[in-house]
Structure 1
Amino acid sequence: MSRRPLDVLRTLERHVIGLLLILMSAGYVVNVLVRLIVPSWSLHLVWMEELALFALAWLVFLGLGITLEKGRQIAMTALFDRLPEGPRRALGLVINLTGVAFSAYITKLGYDFARFVGGMGQTSPTLDVSMIWLYAALPAGFALLTLRYVLEIVGPANRFAFADRGQDH
């Protein structure tokens, strides 16, 4: 049985986000326990906090697409949900087109900035890895968000077809 590419993307995003969340939590627990139990070892685990911050950036930006798809983003829907289906779909199209333009623009800015940082040779103080790994989260997340907005426009059904904002689709 063949899976649709969007289903594969959803599954991959969810697994990566879940794994990042688990690893971040475990890292912080270990870090706190070491500081409480064996404070002299804490200097050897300084890198763990920075790694958790990198993971947090990736977690936040990778979650943008899923948040949009599920309709869990911050939205002002009091008037929107009361519109008849035709105007609601038209306004939804305008919102999605604006979302594509904005997300694509942020993707480009983020990509340019990540390239700039990578070209400058900046490295993280404790991990000693290129800072591009931190700054690449923004264009990656917004590229996925752009894809989700495009799929809202060309997809067979979109989130604006539903009056109930909490409905999973």
Structure 2
Amino acid sequence: MLRTAMTVLRTFERNIIGLLLVAMSAGYVVNVLVRVFAPSQSLHFAWMEEAALFMLAWLVFLGLGLTLEKGRHIAMTALYRRMPAGVQRVVAFVINAVGLAFCAYLTKVGYDFARFIVNSGQTSPTLDVSMVWLYAALPVGFVLLGLRYLLELVGVENRFALADRGQDH
């Protein structure tokens, strides 16, 4: 059941990240083409740059969990692989526990900041939407990253073993 839920979450994250990347790229292409071929109309497309920045923030923070899960974060695997198996388990536990605590802290900070933005009524200048759509990416991304650390802690996932076998999932 949990593995199925994680498969659905991974698929959702990948699809959203892919859509954001395509939309962001298309927006920039259109924006550049308008500026080159119809500069008098460029004011009508100024919102695309800000929309792309919003998408970039979501793309980065949604990608955190997938990046960790795949073992693509910066790691000292050469040193880790030379450690005895018992030490590796302790090091993996410490890394995951500290990572989970850090994610919990940043989720709380991000949530508090997003709540502040909502209460202040800040809106983006060109999109005229609440700035919370930008700042909400931080707590959402760190919840998803923290979930990966938690799954490692309880033994459901093991990115270290996957990296040792050279596998991807």
Q: TM-score, normalised by structure 1?
A: 0.94
For this pair of structures, how many residues does the alignment match? 168
CA contact (8 A) 1:107 1:143 kept: yes
Segment drifting more, 83-92 vs 135-144: 83-92
Alpha carbons of structure 1 residues 119 and 165: separation in structure 2 relative to 1, 3 Å: farther
Partner-residue secondary structure (3-state), 2:46: helix
Give the deviation of 1:163 after TM superposition: 5.7
Asked if 1:153 is matched to 2:153, the reply is: yes
Give the deviation of 1:74 after TM superposition: 1.1
Aligned partners of 2:134, 2:6: CA distance in 1, in Å?
Answer: 26
Asked if 1:125 is matched to 2:125, the reply is: yes
Asked if 1:72 is matched to 2:55, the reply is: no
Alpha carbons of structure 1 residues 148 and 157: separation in structure 2 relative to 1, 3 Å: closer
CA contact (8 A) 1:81 1:163 kept: no
**After the TM superposition, which segments of 4 or more aligned residues of structure 1 sit over 3 Å from their partners?**
none
Alpha carbons of structure 1 residues 147 and 24: separation in structure 2 relative to 1, 3 Å: same
Identity %: 71
Give the deviation of 1:162 after TM superposition: 4.7
The 5-angstrom pairing of residues 139-150 of structure 1 reads 139-150=139-150
1:111-167 CA distances to partner (integer Å, 9 max, x unpaired)? 000100111000000000000000000000000001110011113441223563853
Structure 1, unpaired ranges of 5+:
none
- Richer in helix (by share): 2
Q: TM-score, normalised by structure 2?
A: 0.94
